[in-house]
Amino acid sequence: MTNSHPWWEGAVVYEIYARSFADANDDGVGDLEGIRRRLPYLADLGVDAVWITPFYPSPGFDHGYDVADYVDIDPRHGTLEDFDRLVADTHALGLRLVVDIVPNHTSSHHPWFQAALRGATDPYRDFYIWRDPAPDGGPPNNWVSHFGGPAWTWDPGSDQYYCHLFLPEQPDLNWSNPAVITAFDDIIRFWCERGVDGFRIDVAHGLAKDPWFRDNPQLAPVRAGMDPRRVFDSYEHRYDLDQNPNVDVYRHWHEVVRPYGAMLLGEVGPADPVRHARYHDYGRAIHRNFYLTISWMDWDPMHLRDRIRGIHLAAPDSNAWVLDSHDTSHATTRFGGGEVGAHRALCVKTLMMALGGMQVLYQGEELGIDNGSVAPEDLADPVSTRNPGAVSGRDGARTVMPWDDGPTNGFNSGGRPWLPSAHRPREETVAGQQGDPASFLERYRTLLALRRSRPELWKTPVEWLDTEDSVMIALRRGATVVAANLDEHDAGFDLPEGEWTVLYSSRFGAPPPISDGRIDVPAETTLILGAAATADAPHHN
Ligand code: NOJ
């Protein structure tokens, strides 16, 4: 591989939520062997790479994002031998494998933290962030955890507090300690040597903290019982997140992975596109970065249009477009639910496919499914279980992948899933949609095939086209035009000079006719058109 054409350029990455994708040994928790057996499905879907959420040994307080050993496999997910088989099969199918790396925090069960608890003189003490109590004995500053409560927990053994931006069981590492940097270099090399093609970096914007640990400015009053995410948003995260030294870490990692040809894919939180883009640092730091803001948005066409335009402007090639993930409601649900929500999601996804950078699909997104339904007593996400009351957590997007209409929708051969959920009808499953041209699965497959066969769709320089409608985005790339109408009304659109033909519509059924160089783009629909002379010509990368 050469750096002039890295594998991730224009790649489509499929996110697998390890616990819920496929359970080969029927113990109720998804495993690497289950994933391996389903790889042909992903190859047929037309993705380029697979990203698997954490499968490392973990007590599971945050379902794997609390890692107790970075260089092994949790027995519930399999063994290192299973991992090697998975790598081999992934590559044999022409796919790439991306693993999750969690550098902001470890599990409190990690031997480093257990050693740190022994006291101030232990060599691992400085792997974590310790501060004396405030004069009143309370936490050292006003930082709050993403998952509720203060971002500090008192350690009676030393009468100091340790920092955790997530659960108390997820103590934050101290990235100003060079020994932490060295420890992660070794972890990264370990997985590169085992053949991985990239790393998805968890909370990439979290690592460095303000050296003076100043209070964050408070933006809005906080009341008892408020949703922890609203509490979190009531502060400007000026001192706990998005500190400049983060980018130094990734410039260094860029060099660590370079000899292996591996990619860094950052989970980057800042909503401001310019702050977000600096994690790419003109190609010297993280190769591709999620812009999470869009994956949290409800159906709000004007804001969606602005966010899409904004991040594309700031990060035209380094953004990783993500609409759906294990941390949000499914896009179908956020966008109105059912057929309406699923069509809106495909409308936005089709537009994204025509923008530079990487595309990320979350398991089940290609089926157009809504959130799974989980009984209150089965909820598992700490966002819900630790904040009883009106808090809706992330479980709805984490229910088992619906493969067929078997007892557990084909997740396994009947063992109770770790997150039990309502059975899905056949039409929401892979088996029910496969081969039906009017299904979401086949519409996504066709879209991915078009993107692959027509790289100018994401590669050729963009020319933005004028539109009459306020929530229409239209662009041209060479012999391809994309018109996305996010409005609830059909919208007329004047095509550029020449003969055009519709190659793809995010709506099922016959595409609208073109007359006198003008087309009516149906409401909440994206069309991809090709110049007639080239419409049928094969395009190669
Ligand atoms: C982001 C992950 O995607 C999420 O699932 C996790 O809870 C937090 N980071 C903390 O690791």
- Express each pLDDT in 487-525 by its tens digit: 999 999 999 999 999 999 999 999 999 999 999 999 999
Distance 65 CA to ligand 1 centre (A): 6
pLDDT tens by residue, 150-177: 999 999 999 999 999 999 999 999 999 9
For ligand 1, whether the C-beta of 9 sits within 6 Å is no
Low-confidence residues of the chain: pLDDT under 50: 1-3, 535-541
Backbone dihedral angles phi then psi of residue 515, each to the nearest 5 degrees: -140, 130
Distance 504 CA to ligand 1 centre (A): 35
Determine the Cα–Cα distance for residues 480 and 460; give it in Å rounded to an integer. 9
Strands 288-291 and 319-322, bridge-based pairing: parallel
For ligand 1, whether the C-beta of 172 sits within 6 Å is no
Residue with CA nearest ligand 1 atom 4: 327
Looking at the CA of residue 166, tell me the nearest atom of ligand 1: 10
Contacts made by residues 474-482, CB under 8 angstroms, sequence distance 24+: 475/354, 477/354, 479/530, 479/531, 479/533, 479/534, 480/354, 480/454, 480/456, 480/528, 480/529, 480/530, 480/531, 481/528, 481/529, 481/530, 482/350, 482/351, 482/354, 482/457, 482/526, 482/527, 482/528, 482/529
Q: What local confidence, expressed as pLDDT, does residue 468 receive? A: 87
Q: What local confidence, expressed as pLDDT, does residue 4 receive? A: 66
- Please name every residue paired with 360 in a beta bridge, in sequence order, or none if there are none: 13, 322
For ligand 1, whether the C-beta of 327 sits within 6 Å is yes
Contact 47/366 with Cβ under 8 angstroms? Answer: no
Distance 209 CA to ligand 1 centre (A): 18
Looking at the CA of residue 102, tell me the nearest atom of ligand 1: 11
| Single-letter amino acid, residue 153 | T
Determine the Cα–Cα distance for residues 510 and 330; give it in Å rounded to an integer. 27
Looking at the CA of residue 105, tell me the nearest atom of ligand 1: 11
Residue with CA nearest ligand 1 atom 11: 65
Q: What local confidence, expressed as pLDDT, does residue 541 receive? A: 31
Structure tokens at 172: 């934050």
Determine the Cα–Cα distance for residues 347 and 345; give it in Å rounded to an integer. 5
End-to-end CA distance of the chain: 15
For ligand 1, whether the C-beta of 381 sits within 6 Å is no
The DSSP code sequence of 378-389 is G---HHHHTSTT
For ligand 1, whether the C-beta of 65 sits within 6 Å is yes
Residue with CA nearest ligand 1 atom 5: 327
Distance 139 CA to ligand 1 centre (A): 23
The Cβ of residue 470 has, within 10 Å, a number of other Cβ atoms equal to: 11
Determine the Cα–Cα distance for residues 308 and 348; give it in Å rounded to an integer. 9
Active site residues: 202, 267
Query: Pocket of ligand 1, candidates 166, 201, 326, 384: which has the most ligand atoms within 8 Å of its Cβ, to mutate?
Result: 166
Q: What local confidence, expressed as pLDDT, does residue 390 receive? A: 62
